[in-house]
Chain A
Amino acid sequence: MKLAKISLLASAIGFFGFGIVLFVAPDLIESAGISLLDPAGRIEIRAFYGGLELGLAMFFVIALKKDWILPGLTVQIETNGFIVIARLAGIIMENFKASSATWWSLAAEMSLLILGVVAIRVYKKKVRGNEGKE
């Protein structure tokens, strides 16, 4: 349970940090090699990279408070899992020509994915153990 909560908290902090920065300053996305062509671009980054990630962080905090461990960890694993797969596929398609920021992002997302997978396995084992005792 403790590891599961640490895992959810780590996800909440990660998504909150990234989300709040791009919500306040969407132009910072240009450091990741993305250009904003017009005001619509700024709206999109604020909504998608800012609002959506802040919403995800909020969900992880609520999941922590309400003890929604399984749905919370599932969201953590699925979101980080697909980000990692898509980032790896993208890096391969671009012939490994990526900036150091891309590799650092991949490392952070992979860490959250592994933490989530370990946490859900430990949690399920504990639940099964408790059921066995009863």
Chain B
Amino acid sequence: MSKEKWIFGVTALGFAGVGIAMLIFPNLMSIVGVKELTNSGTVEIRALSGGLELGIGLFFLLALNRPKWFRPALVAQVCLLGGLSLGRILGLLIVNWNAKPLIYLVLAGELMLAILGASTLIMNKKVKKKNEFETKIDKY
């Protein structure tokens, strides 16, 4: 199995897993300091923390079997997990890095997947350039 497939598989599992958990148990958000106060709050958590994450997870699952989508999916991975990591780091900076260990654990996972996506994108680009260079040499 290719490296991209492994990366998309793990990312899809992560997003879909959290999404399903939030859809069924929206009150789980209290673990990270977010609590629904009204019926609308519960609906909001179900929709965004549940539905959005499930939708993203499904996209990575689809990308697994579409080699033509590898590059767009890697870019999506860097954008999404990079955005999540940046938001979390900024939030931590504002509270003087005073947060539960769970927040650091989640940040580590997000950062790792963002870096893995970015490094795979860069490596693929290098391989493509090398192949193009070798093809040009062969022509000469």
Contact = CB atoms under 8 A, between A and B. Distances in A.
B21 interface: no
B4 to A, nearest CB: 14
Contacts of A38: 33
B32 A42 contact: no
Classify the secondary structure of B's interface with A: helix
A34 B75 contact: no
A98 B43 contact: yes
A90 interface: yes
A74 B32 contact: no
Contacts, number: 205
Classify the secondary structure of A's interface with B: helix
Contact of A34 (B34, B84, B91): B34
Contacts of B40: 32-33, 94, 97-99, 101-102
Interface string A1-39: 000000000000000000100010010011011111111
**What 9 pairs across the A-B complex have the smallest Cβ distances?**
A51-B87, A55-B83, A86-B51, A41-B33, A33-B41, A43-B91, A33-B38, A82-B55, A40-B33
20 contacts: A35-B34, A35-B41, A36-B35, A37-B34, A43-B103, A52-B52, A52-B80, A55-B80, A66-B72, A79-B55, A81-B55, A83-B48, A84-B51, A86-B23, A86-B46, A86-B47, A86-B50, A87-B47, A91-B43, A94-B39
